[in-house]
Homo-oligomer: A and B are copies of this chain.
Amino acid sequence: MSVVVVGSVAYDGIETPHGSVDRILGGACTYISLASSYFAKTSIVAVVGDDFAKEDEEFLRSRGIGLEGLERVPGKTFFWSGVYSNDMNDRTTTRTDLNVFAGFDPKLPASYRAAPYLILGNIQPALQRSVREQMNGLRLAGGDTMNYWIKDYREELLGTIRSWDFLLINDSEARMLSGENNLKRAAAKILGMGPHTLVIKRGEYGAILFHRDAHFIVPGYLLEEVFDPTGAGDCFAGGFIGYLAGRGLDLADGKLDDAELRRAVIYGSVMGSFCCENFGVDRFRTLTRQEIDARYSEFQDCTGF
């Protein structure tokens, strides 16, 4: 069943110890939708400028991604660039040009409104909320946020996530949102804010799923070479929502299958790991569902006891 993804479509300049690219397709919405597209019909809501390349649009279309909600406006597409440290655990942003993204006001095409799955990339909480309210047949809705909104838009954010089923954030964001350093305590507080499901992403160290009184911890997949970690967290989110949507699962009514949620977290980890194997979105030009399932099995082999 189909997934709607809302967020940024951008061009990125990336420098890692393995090389650099001046301008490559990026943005949270792009990564989430590419990862999700392997599991379920996926459509996007985003804005780009008139410089958005035909071949990038074609690439998204080739993955079956619905582009009716991809708005084109005069001006330039959002541009971000950054440089990774030698061990790739830190990155420094060298440029952020919001361009047309500064005026992003997500408009849902009528054909999207009945979609059962919604994932909201990291944008202003009020915009996330307005999209959520335009949908009318949701089985499962949630998304991401970041330190900036947690710190300076706290009330707006709390009002937004109150109606979410799941929240996907990283460990430092979970600490900031909850005011608790310990992740178990942080999760308990965040689950009191609305979402019944919380996934805390820990980068190379994996992720933790919290749902009601239980949790599931998964280590990160061990890559022999991390080529470029840009977008890995968003690909995690895309694999997570895509898997649940592909299975037609309904979390909203409380009939949650914990085993399926755990599988969704593993598929999220798998998609995040593939993302790191090449620059930007390039790994998704060749990745197949067969490779994804093989890595899922490998995950079982190297974590089971």
Contact residues of A with B, CB < 8 Å? 86-87, 181-185, 202, 205-206, 208, 214-220, 222-226, 259, 262-263, 265-266, 300-305
Given contacts A86-B181, A87-B181, A181-B87, contact A302 B222 (CB under 8 A): no
Tell me the nearest residue of chain B to A183, going by C-beta: B222
Closest to A210 in B: B222
Say yes or no: A208 contacts B181, CB within 8 Å.
Answer: no
Task: Tell whether, in the assembled complex, residue B226 and residue A222 are in contact, meaning their CB atoms are under 8 Å apart.
Answer: no
**In the complex, which of the residues B86, B219, B266, B301 contacts A219, with contact meaning CB atoms closer than 8 Å?**
B219
The distance in angstroms between the C-alpha atoms of A300 and B305, with both chains bound, is 8
B304 touches A224 (CB 8 A): no
In the assembled complex, the CB of A193 is this many whole angstroms from the nearest CB of chain B, namely 19
Q: State how many angstroms separate the Cβ of A178 from the closest Cβ of chain B.
A: 13
Q: Are A205 and B185 touching (Cβ within 8 A)?
A: no
Total identical chains: 2
Residues on B with beta carbons closer than 8 Å to the beta carbon of A266: 305
Q: Which chain B positions have C-beta within 8 A of A182?
A: 223-226
Residues of B within 8 A of A205 (CB): 202, 205-206, 219
The 8 A-B pairs at the shortest CB distance, nearest first, are namely A262-B305, A217-B219, A205-B205, A219-B219, A184-B224, A184-B222, A87-B181, A217-B302
- Tell whether, in the assembled complex, residue A304 and residue B304 are in contact, meaning their CB atoms are under 8 Å apart: yes
- CB-based contact B305/A216 at 8 Å: yes
B208 touches A215 (CB 8 A): no
Question: Smallest Cβ distance from A113 to chain B, in angstroms?
Answer: 34
Q: Are A217 and B184 in contact (CB under 8 A)?
A: no
11 pairs, A vs B, C-beta closer than 8 Å: A182-B223, A183-B222, A202-B205, A206-B219, A214-B301, A217-B302, A217-B303, A218-B305, A262-B304, A266-B305, A304-B304
Q: How far is the CA of A293 from the CA of B215 in the complex (A)?
A: 19
Chain B residues within 8 Å of A208, by CB = 219, 222
